[in-house]
Amino acid sequence: MKRLGIFGGSFDPVHSGHVGIARAAADAAALEKVLFVPANVSPFKTSAAPRASAADRLEMVRLACACDRRFEPCDIELRRAGVSYAVDTVRAIAAANPGAELFFIMGEDSLAALGGWHKADELFSLVVFLVLERPGCARNPVPPGARVVRFRGEPCAVSSTAAREAIARGGDAGRMLPPSVAAYIARRGLYRP
């Protein structure tokens, strides 16, 4: 049975922490593929649009995915109008991959709100949640009906916000980003004031 990981986010920009999380998840659950899925409009960030365009975010994800044969960019949410609900994405990926076992990659901090996600019960029936344990973050209770497997990864203090702020100040965000992504951002002049 094919084992697929689904890793969603704004990826504005995709950073080295994202790559490390995906690699640790793939190793922990023996995933054949990890689909990096940039959100069109995140249900958690409806008031703040991404700073980079959808095309730029997808290209940065494509560049970051080149570092591991198990990684693959997936534009399914960017092609769909409106808010990007996980359940809609998972349904579409399940339909395109009949019989595959699907794993949804997320951080421990997101687990607390999982029961309130759009059509959570349906989502629970479709995926196993691969939850990254974060240092200093208490274990959250698992919502009834959700299947959760926790995994560990390298601690990472990188965030997309920190990378954008460093670039906007004219600083060096190179250590926070895959080299190909840093080069693309510089070439395109992204995140500059």
| Domains along the chain with CATH numbers | 3-156 (3.40.50.620)
Q: Write down the pLDDT at residue 178.
A: 96
- Calculate the CA 82 to chain-centre distance: 18
The amino acid occupying position 7 is F
Considering only CA atoms, give the Rg of the chain.
Answer: 16
Q: For 150, what's the count of Cα atoms within 13 Å in the CB-facing half-sphere?
A: 14
Q: Write down the pLDDT at residue 142.
A: 92
pLDDT band at 154 (very low <50, low <70, confident <90, very high): confident
- Residue 5 pLDDT > 70, yes or no? yes
Q: Which residue has the tokens 């794993």?
A: 103
Percent of the chain with pLDDT over 90: 76
User: Which of 44-48, 79-83, 189-193 is modeled with the greatest confidence?
Assistant: 189-193
Q: Which two tokens stand for residue 15?
A: 């950073």
Average confidence (pLDDT) over 68-91: 95
Q: Write down the pLDDT at residue 47.
A: 62
The amino acid occupying position 53 is S
The rounded distance, in Å, linking the Cα atoms of 160 and 165 is: 9
The rounded distance, in Å, linking the Cα atoms of 61 and 70 is: 13
For the beta carbon of residue 69, count every other beta carbon within 10 angstroms: 9
Could you tell me the pTM of the whole model? Answer: 0.94
The amino acid occupying position 107 is G
Q: Write down the pLDDT at residue 186.
A: 94
Non-local CB neighbours of 156 within 8 Å, separated by 6+ positions: 16, 17, 20, 21
Higher-confidence residue of 100 and 155: namely 100
Segment 119-140, tens digit of pLDDT? 999 999 999 999 998 777 788 8
- Residue 100 pLDDT > 70, yes or no? yes
Segment 28-58, tens digit of pLDDT? 999 999 999 999 987 776 567 788 999 999 9
The rounded distance, in Å, linking the Cα atoms of 56 and 74 is: 14
For the beta carbon of residue 84, count every other beta carbon within 10 angstroms: 21
Q: From edge to edge, which strands make up the β-sheet containing 128-133? A: 71-73, 33-38, 3-9, 101-107, 128-133, 147-152
Higher-confidence residue of 78 and 136: namely 78
State the chain's mean pLDDT as an integer: 92
